[in-house]
Amino acid sequence: MTEPDAKNRSKKLPNSSAGGRTGRLFVLSAPSGTGKTTLCRRILPRLENMRFSVSYTTRPPRPGEISGKDYHFISRQVFEEMIRKNHWAEWAKVYDNYYGTSAKDIERDLASGYDILLDIDVNGMRQIISRFPQSVTIFIMPPSLEDLRHRLEKRGSDEAGVIDKRLKAATREIACRYEYGHIIVNDRVERAACQLLAVIENSRQPNCPENQEYKL
Ligand code: ADP
Ligand code: 5GP
């Protein structure tokens, strides 16, 4: 995650929980380096009522990352203790590190009427869907693996060996894209951001087919 302030922006909630609205989860997944952070940075300031879920991780911070904004950086020992205490809404091991979403954080924001944007991997998405079946799931694709390699190199936070590892993982992750409700290719940032905004705004409409209960 290269852009520290990208994910934390949220607008003030106009009608908090007093309006009786319960928020909704929007799950974003993509192979590392595809551009999730870049896209989140673009869309969050344009969305009312949306909070970014700051994950917990045992991986060390990258240069420029800020604890509490990009991630909550915690030790392996603390993370495992929180697994035992059933603290996580979902968690997964990605590239030898733990990543997780706090159930309390999610439930607090949902109860306050916020929608929440989660940047999590495929395993995390599966857990969220089984716990919150109304969640909207979006997979972001790189235009090609060659483009993905260039983006990882451009980001400059990984050694060559780590980039090869990430590309192998990307192939496995891309194979799971049809488990998601929506697939967006991040070819040009602004185009992909507009598509992402459209998916989110459309899913928020009460007459969106996915929000209807069918009586047959
Ligand atoms: P992720 O959060 O998915 O790991 P980042 O948002 O950190 O990915 O993006 C990885 C790199 O790719 C960054 O250097 C970013 O500027 C670049 N990037 C993101 N989207 C695009 C795009 N559509 N075209 C070209 N480069 C991009
Ligand atoms: P990075 O280390 O590049 O920030 O993230 C690596 C991967 O971990 C990405 O695929 C990202 O979506 C995923 N990830 C980040 N936070 C979480 C989380 O809380 N839960 C899960 N399951 N995956 C996460």
Q: Tens-of-pLDDT digits for all 216 residues of the chain?
A: 333 344 443 444 333 443 566 799 999 999 999 999 999 999 999 999 999 999 999 999 988 889 999 999 999 999 999 999 999 999 999 878 999 999 999 999 999 999 999 999 999 999 999 999 999 999 999 999 999 999 999 887 777 788 998 899 999 999 999 999 999 999 999 999 999 999 999 999 877 766 655 555
Amino acid letter at 97?
N
Q: Which ligand is nearest to the CA of 191?
A: 1
Ligand 2: residue whose CA is nearest its atom 3: 32
Give the CATH H-level superfamily of domain 17-213: P-loop containing nucleotide triphosphate hydrolases (3.40.50.300)
CA separation for the pair 92, 23 (Å, rounded): 24
Please report, for the chain, the start and end positions of each structural domain, with discontinuous segments joined by +: 17-213
Mind listing the pLDDT tens digit for each residue in 1-59?
Answer: 333 344 443 444 333 443 566 799 999 999 999 999 999 999 999 999 999 999 999 99
CB neighbours of 132 closer than 8 A, spacing ≥ 6? 25
CA of 206 to the centre of ligand 1 (A): 33
